[in-house]
Amino acid sequence: MAHDKKRNNKPDENENDVATTDSLVDRLRTLAREEGGPSVARRAIVLLEGGYEGEDFLRVVGGSHAEGILSGAPALYWPELWGARALLHIWDDSAEKPVIKALGNQSWRVREMAAKVCAAREIGEISEISVLLTDEHPRVRAAGARALAVRGDASSIDTLELLLRDYDKEVRRTAQQSIKALRERLAEAE
């Protein structure tokens, strides 16, 4: 699964086919064993930033869903989303700035995934994450609340409490859970 030096869609006899039916984690682990975790993370960053890393890498991060794009369907936001999602499972510190930048991506799905990465990797400043709490899409607001529970401080509780009146029930529920998690985290830190 090298960097797809060939573009003729025909793998070498030595090149492994990507088992798109394997889980994402398994696909990423296999690739990381072959080319190293930092290399895989850097390739995920390239996708997140709108770049291209070859067909095989798209199959690794996108699984069977990548076939549609490789067959000519519009890519839309999917490669960026898959790049961000890969960073949930494989990491390099150089991904922090691109993930933070992706919090402002035009696609709500990418913003949501970037917020999930912020929570999982414990990155992002309070001000960078807090803007998600007013996002137009409820799933982004919820993901922002979860990230703020991980990165926030005592003043973030007031910010999260505003979501308790959100029109979306799941956002309200997530805000309540995030406030509880943040309070517990702050109490443990004392």
**pTM greater than 0.75 (yes/no):** yes
Alpha carbon distance 150, 63 (integer Å): 30
pLDDT category, 20, cuts 50, 70, 90?
confident
Q: Which tokens is 172 given?
A: 């309200």
Q: What's residue 190's pLDDT?
A: 87
> Domains of the chain (ranges plus CATH)?
1-101 (no CATH), 125-190 (1.25.10.10)
Q: What is the pLDDT of residues 37-50, one digit of tens each?
A: 999 999 999 999 99
Q: What is the pLDDT of residues 134-155, one digit of tens each?
A: 999 999 999 999 999 999 999 9
